[in-house]
Amino acid sequence: MDMIYTLDQIGSVAAKLIKMHGTKPAWAFFAPMGAGKTTLISQICKQLGVEDAVSSPTFAIMNQYEANGKMIYHMDWYRLEDEAEAIRTGVEAAMEDADLCFIEWPEKATGLLNENTVKFEIEILDPEHRRIFIPS
């Protein structure tokens, strides 16, 4: 899976990701600041049926949403120091309880990711274009 897209195409990218990886309970997004992680996750949540406004959980660490009877967590691990702090903040327990988790800045606690986590990388190609792929 390898897609190059613009902001105008983010809806179709979200739909393709859901179609290809919708059965995976955790999605980790590795990307630099400004790559559009939150924007993409917001679109995915919208397409899954989340009616609440989806925003970055940078300061809260986790936002919880409901869609069609499923519990979805949107996590941002940017402010976490390491895996131990992630566990203390309840991230690991939330991942076990949720039907679906979207994780920004997963590199802060990669030990919490497992074989049920789909790992995406988003690359900034230029101000308008992004590339999303699953690293080998």
What does the angle CA 123 – CA 82 – CA 97 come to, to the nearest 5 degrees?
85
- Read off the amino acid at residue 60: A
Quickly count: other Cβ atoms within 10 Å of residue 11's Cβ: 14
pLDDT at 54: 86
Quick one: average pLDDT of 56-61? 80
Question: What does 29-68 look like in DSSP terms, one character per residue?
Answer: EE--TTS-HHHHHHHHHHHHT--SPP---TTTSEEEEEET
**Residue percentage of the chain with pLDDT more than 90:** 82
pLDDT at 60: 81
Report which DSSP code applies to 8: G
Quick one: average pLDDT of 32-49? 95
Residue 71 has pLDDT above 80, yes or no: yes
Residue 63 has pLDDT above 80, yes or no: yes
Quick one: average pLDDT of 56-77? 90
C-beta separation of 66 from 86 below 8 A = no
Structure token pair of residue 115 = 């074989």
Residue 100 has pLDDT above 90, yes or no: yes
Domain ranges (residues) in the chain: 2-129
pTM of the predicted model, to two decimals? Answer: 0.93
Q: Which residues does residue 100 pair with via DSSP β-bridges, in sequence order?
A: 72
- What is the dotted CATH code of the domain comprising 2-129? 3.40.50.300
pLDDT at 58: 76
pLDDT at 109: 94
pLDDT at 104: 96
